[in-house]
Chains A and B, each alone.
Chain A
Amino acid sequence: AQKITQTQPGMFVQEKEAVTLDCTYDTSDQSYGLFWYKQPSSGEMIFLIYQGSYDEQNATEGRYSLNFQKARKSANLVISASQLGDSAMYFCAMREGSQAYSTLTFGKGTMLLVSP
């Protein structure tokens, strides 16, 4: 079974609108972390936001927020007031356990296109 599922291969949104990118995860660990990365067409991987499994509040970083629903095992990324520069591939990732050496597992990504 996939540990990280991103069901939207592509999403379109108009500038200034909000958009939600879906991510569901599968783990039996009680301690885990969820991450979102952005990959623009230039190719670099940019860390956006982190949510810990024990965090009671949804994480926010500027225009990015993470809608964390633990019981549903979902960690959706919400981008408010989209900008043209938000056009990119977005990856959801999970780190299971609290061990220092635990590694990131990635979803297959969602391509977001923002139109004027």
Chain B
Amino acid sequence: DAGITQSPRHKVTETGTPVTLRCHQTENHRYMYWYRQDPGHGLRLIHYSYGVKDTDKGEVSDGYSVSRSKTEDFLLTLESATSSQTSVYFCAISVGGGNTEAFFGQGTRLTVV
């Protein structure tokens, strides 16, 4: 267990509503990531953070925003959820550096109806 908690674990929401997913870590790692997993696409990076208030976009950032006001929390927000954002969302953490693996949370299954 890498000390990562994602909440909620499951959520069903309606199109057009805002949704926030939370990632909480107890490892004090500097780097945090949000990925989405879809069949046939593997995992794709949405946003990542390299420190408090320091974030950057990933491959599929459109429609998503993030915030990191504390080292331990990384929030992913869907401002106005769409059906195309139905997915499994994974948070990951790492100590940084090219030779370090990322540790993943348990995932959040989000369904937008």
Q: Which residues from chain A sit less than 8 Å from chain B, CB to CB?
A: 4, 31-33, 35, 37, 43-45, 47, 50, 52, 91, 93, 95-109
Residues of the A chain whose Cβ atoms lie less than 8 Å from the Cβ of B43: 45, 91, 93, 104, 106
CB of B64 to closest CB in A, whole Å: 15
B88/A35 in contact, CB under 8 A: no
Residues of the A chain whose Cβ atoms lie less than 8 Å from the Cβ of B42: 4, 91, 106-109
CA of A49 to CA of B89, assembled, Å: 23
A100, closest chain B residue (CB): B96
**B66-89 at interface with A (beta carbon < 8 Å):** 88
CA of A101 to CA of B58, assembled, Å: 12
CA of A101 to CA of B45, assembled, Å: 13
Contact of A47 among B30, B45, B101 (CB under 8 A): B101
Residues of the B chain whose Cβ atoms lie less than 8 Å from the Cβ of A47: 101-103
CB of B51 to closest CB in A, whole Å: 9
Contact of A95 among B40, B44, B88, B98 (CB under 8 A): B98
B96/A44 in contact, CB under 8 A: no
B106/A33 in contact, CB under 8 A: no
